[in-house]
């Protein structure tokens, strides 16, 4: 099994960083566990061109994130940013080539804006636009690649350490017809012209367009996670710009929501201020919320609600029972409702259905006890004297009276 690994080379000059790349399939082995794989040597250069000062880095692929990572490492190694970036027409840099106005990859354009650089791609199939960069391919091939081609590396980090070691030797080698090396020329003439790098590192931005769902959330497919936006934009298309750490939501170029990017399949990240009043009501529910609301309506209702939450039932079931009681409160006279609640407390049946049935069957009208009446005085009453004067019963031999 084999897979490609790309090598990016950079050369720098004082106001311009020229980028170029070339595939050179060779026999170098990168050993990862039991897998041995040949890699592709992709040369990417940056140059003024003035000092021929070079930088090289191995990355796993030619994807945009690896390309930006290589560019970031190059600028950090140089200690500054140039004014102009001149790449080839690879897809990680140029989406559509054009002699006058090429369409740049949005991520590379963001990277250039972050570092205050301009991007001016070379013309397609015109190697003379970067002749010095192309010439560096042979130098790097002889001085770096050729010297490590028979070595085995067990990680990309080890490979980059070897490349860095030989690149340092290359930059410190005296140039022909000159009494200085590339590193000396760079430090004395080019580095002072570099612009200072931003304090905040660049994060790749990804762009998506989603429609805001009726539940006030957009679904970010990459994370399989939901993020909220203001309910006023329900049903409208929103532009989502997200990085490794943040998710920003725009409507017609106006920022309307910002969230920290989170993981968790099927979960929600919600700002309560984004929800309409109905949705906020459901988020604010709690036992304390219902007890406080019941206390404002009726003391008997508050007592019943407290008894409801003393039961060992699923919270959502208890919330629904309380919602039902509040609905009955609105549609029933206060006197009848309080009597029904009191019956539920007396009979220890703490449920919405019991209160509803009491009100529906008008049971509260028959629960009041009738006052007891004293018996009238009359002579036809047998007391204890009557029974004491009766003849005693004689017990027969067989135990019967």
324-368 pLDDT, tens per residue?
Answer: 898 898 888 888 888 889 988 988 888 888 999 988 888 877 655
pLDDT band at residue 111 under the 50/70/90 scheme: very high
Q: What is the pLDDT of residue 35?
A: 41
Tell whether pTM > 0.75: no
Spatial contact of 248 and 260, defined as CB atoms under 8 Å apart: no
Q: What is the pLDDT of residue 244?
A: 84
Spatial contact of 130 and 85, defined as CB atoms under 8 Å apart: no
Burial class (CB in 10 A: 0-12, 13-18, 19+), 256: middle
Decide: helix, strand or coil at residue 240: strand
Mean pLDDT of the chain: 79
Q: How far apart are the first and last CA of the chain?
A: 111
Q: What is the pLDDT of residue 42?
A: 47
Q: Tokens 């992709």 belong to which residue?
A: 42
Distance CA 247, CA 225 (A): 11
Spatial contact of 337 and 344, defined as CB atoms under 8 Å apart: no
Q: What is the pLDDT of residue 372?
A: 65
Cα angle value 187/65/51 (rounded, 5°): 20
Distance CA 42, CA 58 (A): 9
Distance CA 278, CA 95 (A): 46
Q: What is the pLDDT of residue 91?
A: 85
Least-confidence region, from 65-69, 160-164, 363-367? 363-367
Alpha helices per DSSP H over 48-197: 64-78, 106-114, 131-140, 146-148, 156-171, 182-185
Q: How far is CA 312 from CA 198, 289, 300, 379, in A?
A: 58, 18, 21, 61
375-379: average pLDDT: 69
Decide: helix, strand or coil at residue 247: strand
221-236: average pLDDT: 89
């Amino acid at each position: 099994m084999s897979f490609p690994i790309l090598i990016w080379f950079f050369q720098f000059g004082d106001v311009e960083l020229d980028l170029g790349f070339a595939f050179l399939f060779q026999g170098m082995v990168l050993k990862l566990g039991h897998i041995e794989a040949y890699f592709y040597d992709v040369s990417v250069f940056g140059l003024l061109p003035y000092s021929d000062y070079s930088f090289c880095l191995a990355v796993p692929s030619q994807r945009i994130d690896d390309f930006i990572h290589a560019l970031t490492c190059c600028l950090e190694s140089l200690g500054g940013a140039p004014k102009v970036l001149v790449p080839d027409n690879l897809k990680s840099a140029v989406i559509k080539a054009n002699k006058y106005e090429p369409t740049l990859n949005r991520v590379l354009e963001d990277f250039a804006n972050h570092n205050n650089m301009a991007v001016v791609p070379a013309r397609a199939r015109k190697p003379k636009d970067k002749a010095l960069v192309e010439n560096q391919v042979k130098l790097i091939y002889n001085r770096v690649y050729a010297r490590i081609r028979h070595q085995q590396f067990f990680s990309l980090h080890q490979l980059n350490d070897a490349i860095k070691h030989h690149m340092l030797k290359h930059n410190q080698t005296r140039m022909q017809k000159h009494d200085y090396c590339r590193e000396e020329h760079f430090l004395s003439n080019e580095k002072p012209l570099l612009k200072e790098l931003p304090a905040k590192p660049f994060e790749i931005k990804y762009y998506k367009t989603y429609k805001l769902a009726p539940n006030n959330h957009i679904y970010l497919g990459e994370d399989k996670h939901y993020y909220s936006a203001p309910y006023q934009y329900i049903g409208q298309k929103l532009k989502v710009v997200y990085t490794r750490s943040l998710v920003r939501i725009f409507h017609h170029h106006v920022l309307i929501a910002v969230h920290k990017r989170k993981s968790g399949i099927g979960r929600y990240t919600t700002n309560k201020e984004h929800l309409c009043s109905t949705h906020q009501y459901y988020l604010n529910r709690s036992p304390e919320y219902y007890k406080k609301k019941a206390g404002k309506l009726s003391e008997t209702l508050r007592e019943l609600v407290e008894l409801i939450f003393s039961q060992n039932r699923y919270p959502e079931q208890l919330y629904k029972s309380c919602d039902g009681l509040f609905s009955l409160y609105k549609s029933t006279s206060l006197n009848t409702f309080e009597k029904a609640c009191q019956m539920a407390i007396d009979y220890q049946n703490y449920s919405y259905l019991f209160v509803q049935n009491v009100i529906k069957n008008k049971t509260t009208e028959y629960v009041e006890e009738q006052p007891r009446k004293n018996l009238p005085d009359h002579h036809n009453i047998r007391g204890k004297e009557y029974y004491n004067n009766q003849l005693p019963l004689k017990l027969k031999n067989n135990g019967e009276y």
